[in-house]
Structure 1
């Protein structure tokens, strides 16, 4: 089997994947900037406008794993390009949105396209790069994510200054078109020969939708009983679904991968790390404005070092992951993040810009050191035929962690402790758990045997 795509086709495939990643991240970020304008133009209250963002995130979480399973059946390249086309068409429909219900339907369609592309993107990265360069490829992908997150607010603000709000969503269309054109160079993976489990896909989406939707209503709604009933329904669906999936040879929920201790630890570590990072990122603006008195323009400047540092650190960490065990890199990254989070919690009473900037840069660098090697271990250690499931697991873990972090901050704010030192302290505790999970992977009894692909290009000591 060929180890990665030949040059120069590999460069075109990398460009297609980078553009596809950028459009998903930018589209998810620019919507936040447009919410006040959408509320005004559609004559709805601001709390209703927030559903434009939440419906997108919820659909992504619900569909990533089912679409990863579908991609394994119809072919990864085909699934990726179908997602890009659906996203482009749905985005154009934003120009016809004159009411909130129609806009929510369009946003759900956008999320469907984004989920289809995102669910198989990591598996395509694995097939694009040689095995020894997989860490670098995932590091570059992480850098694109950080760059898109940093660019989205500025891009959205600029577009709103010169054009109506539908153009904010259209800003991602050129990325989709470029990705479709270059997508012919993507690796041609053969479709699977087993039928897609439609009922299992529906159960998976229902499980995540009910649990996350119920938690969201618990924080923002008025009826704890209804919220609890929704969450309980999701848990019951999940129990039945997990038992059913345990009997499948190619389960949609990759229980077969999670049975491996090293992958299970990696997923738990990633989940707690994403909760920690989102807890700080969402809570920090409240603290900067209410406790320290910084203005909105200053707040954007002070938050920027996190993604900007990631742009530099993530590719370097990915490159190092081919040479240093992921468990060690992850432990180092989380140790850096814990120190930074404690320093953020212990901010001076009247901090200068520099006091905040270097702490945020240090924290972002720590998470940037942890995440690419962690993703490389999950994706690179899975059997090649289960690469899409492993990639879907990585993306689902990221979104679940971010959603859980956002819900946690909302709960802390409701308790009156979300705008001070408590969120970074909570984040430090979560980062400590992620660090322990990473270091535990260094134990010989935890290390997973090499995959056939990795064995040809690197020593066993590096696959851990």
Structure 2
């Protein structure tokens, strides 16, 4: 669990840690703002398109192998990022780093399933959820601390010694798991990459206000690739996109709950800082303090919810948690124009309690719904659902802010209302799992 924890921290930080240094990178590498954003986009894109193929490959050759190769690639790519002399070199290294992160994230929950006995699986899954939540929340603070004493290169170089330590620990500790007997499907891997790649580029294009023709073409290509992918998967005994597992209501509903819930959280995380900065005139450090209660409470609640999920159904625990999250978002939407610090904090804590109570039970239900031989694709689907929800939330905020440009109070009110809608739908989906598994 220690080697898995270290690797998850590195992979999650890789998603958020570079954002804060983009202006500095742009200036030092003599680039433009649009080109500099590819330092982030390249990482996210390579993670998204490779999660499911690497998860499926883990079922075939072993989860510890995929984990080890992914961690090695991530560590080597971090070294290359730290010494990158130009933006194209840095972007190329970030692509490799994203593939490495996908190797880690695609099989980490599958490995946890073989580390913990079934009666304690909820605790193991809760540990992963805790690490993901903590790393996501700490990313900006870690980046700020590094940049306060060193150049942006060390945002990547600090990964290297941690990656080496995790590799040494992994060599003698990770369990060997049963191997599937089927072959890797390269055609499905290509269709998967085209589906998620085109769809992600199209959705990002909506958020960045790109031309309708370009966005429409990308989305159409993604939809076409998705149609061919699903059609092919239906004919396979062990599909890469687990359409066979989606026939199980508990699995399909858990994925839908995850997508809606992460979309809700992403919308709140993106919209509230604008409200605090522009509406309340708060500094960056004050905004950070106001956002912190949400992930801080998740850190406390997730282990408790994980233990409870070993005894009580995820549909009940997740449904209750998401009702609480919805209430927290509604209360945040009722903040006065000039809120006191404590008024924001207790509302953020309620939202964090709700999200923390949903996360671990939902993840446990999703991974446990799959046969042990399909743990890899289930683990990959868990990470894919999280990324899909976060992307949906980001695009939603971009569209709302674009339509209501200049009306900060109204923008945030609408965004938080939509976030509450997503979490409300998620709670209904969660409760619908009762009695199904």
The TM-score normalised by the length of structure 2 is 0.96
Q: In structure 2, what is the Cα distance between the partners aligned to 1:172 and 1:133? A: 31
Q: In structure 1, what is the Cα distance between the partners aligned to 2:158 and 2:20? A: 13
Q: Does 1:93 align with 2:80?
A: yes
List per-residue Cα deviations over 1:53-85 (Å, max 9, x = no partner): 122112111110011011111111011000000
List per-residue Cα deviations over 1:328-383 (Å, max 9, x = no partner): 10111011011100000110121011111111111011111111101100101210
Q: In structure 2, what is the Cα distance between the partners aligned to 1:55 and 1:400? A: 16
Q: Aligned residue for 1:177? A: 164
Q: Does 1:427 align with 2:419?
A: yes
List per-residue Cα deviations over 1:218-240 (Å, max 9, x = no partner): 33143211110110011011101
Q: Secondary structure at the match of 1:248?
A: coil
Q: Give the Å deviation of 1:267.
A: 0.8
Residues 291, 420 of structure 1: 8 Å contact kept: no
Residues 39, 45 of structure 1: 8 Å contact kept: yes
Q: Which one of 216, 219, 239 corresponds to residue 228 of structure 1?
A: 216
Q: In structure 2, what is the Cα distance between the partners aligned to 1:38 and 1:263? A: 42
Q: Which one of 31, 42, 52 corresponds to residue 44 of structure 1?
A: 31
Gap runs ≥5 in structure 2? none
Q: Does 1:240 align with 2:228?
A: yes
Q: In structure 2, what is the Cα distance between the partners aligned to 1:335 and 1:51? A: 37
Residues 34, 165 of structure 1: 8 Å contact kept: yes
Residues 21, 144 of structure 1: 8 Å contact kept: yes
Q: In structure 2, what is the Cα distance between the partners aligned to 1:306 and 1:280? A: 10
How do 1:92-241 and structure 2 match up within 5 A?
92-183=79-170, 184-241=172-229
Q: Secondary structure at the match of 1:436?
A: helix
Q: Give the Å deviation of 1:50.
A: 1.9
Q: Secondary structure at the match of 1:293?
A: coil
The 10-residue stretch of structure 1 (405-414 or 171-180) with the greater mean CA deviation from structure 2: 171-180
Q: In structure 1, what is the Cα distance between the partners aligned to 2:135 and 2:336? A: 31
Residues 30, 155 of structure 1: 8 Å contact kept: yes
Residues 179, 373 of structure 2: 8 Å contact kept: no
Cα distance, 1:222–1:21 mapped onto 2, change above 3 Å:
closer
The 10-residue stretch of structure 1 (216-225 or 270-279) with the greater mean CA deviation from structure 2: 216-225
List per-residue Cα deviations over 1:167-206 (Å, max 9, x = no partner): 1112222332222111120110133221100111111011
Residues 23, 173 of structure 1: 8 Å contact kept: no
Q: Aligned residue for 2:347? A: 359
Residues 329, 351 of structure 2: 8 Å contact kept: yes
Residues 26, 172 of structure 1: 8 Å contact kept: no
Q: Aligned residue for 2:371? A: 383
Q: Secondary structure at the match of 2:412?
A: coil
Q: In structure 1, what is the Cα distance between the partners aligned to 2:38 and 2:21? A: 12
Residues 56, 107 of structure 1: 8 Å contact kept: yes
Q: In structure 1, what is the Cα distance between the partners aligned to 2:57 and 2:235? A: 18
Q: Aligned residue for 2:12? A: 25
Q: In structure 2, what is the Cα distance between the partners aligned to 1:439 and 1:190? A: 34
Q: In structure 1, what is the Cα distance between the partners aligned to 2:431 and 2:140? A: 36
Q: Aligned residue for 1:4? A: none
Q: In structure 2, what is the Cα distance between the partners aligned to 1:367 and 1:147? A: 13
For these two proteins, the number of residue pairs brought into alignment is: 432
Q: Does 1:266 align with 2:266?
A: no
Q: In structure 2, what is the Cα distance between the partners aligned to 1:414 and 1:74? A: 46
Q: Aligned residue for 1:304? A: 292
List per-residue Cα deviations over 1:269-317 (Å, max 9, x = no partner): 1111111110110111111111122111100110111111111111111
Q: Which one of 284, 290, 308 corresponds to residue 278 of structure 2?
A: 290
Q: Aligned residue for 1:281? A: 269
Q: Which one of 357, 365, 372 corresponds to residue 369 of structure 1?
A: 357
Q: Aligned residue for 2:71? A: 84
Gap runs ≥5 in structure 1? 1-13, 449-464
Q: Aligned residue for 2:324? A: 336
Q: Aligned residue for 1:458? A: none
Q: Give the Å deviation of 1:420.
A: 2.2
Q: In structure 1, what is the Cα distance between the partners aligned to 2:258 and 2:139? A: 24
Tell me how large the CA RMSD over aligned residues is. Answer: 1.2
Q: Which one of 36, 40, 46 corresponds to residue 59 of structure 1?
A: 46
Q: Aligned residue for 2:241? A: 253
Q: Does 1:413 align with 2:405?
A: no
Q: In structure 1, what is the Cα distance between the partners aligned to 2:79 and 2:431? A: 47
Q: Give the Å deviation of 1:118.
A: 0.9
Q: Give the Å deviation of 1:48.
A: 2.5
The 10-residue stretch of structure 1 (239-248 or 39-48) with the greater mean CA deviation from structure 2: 39-48
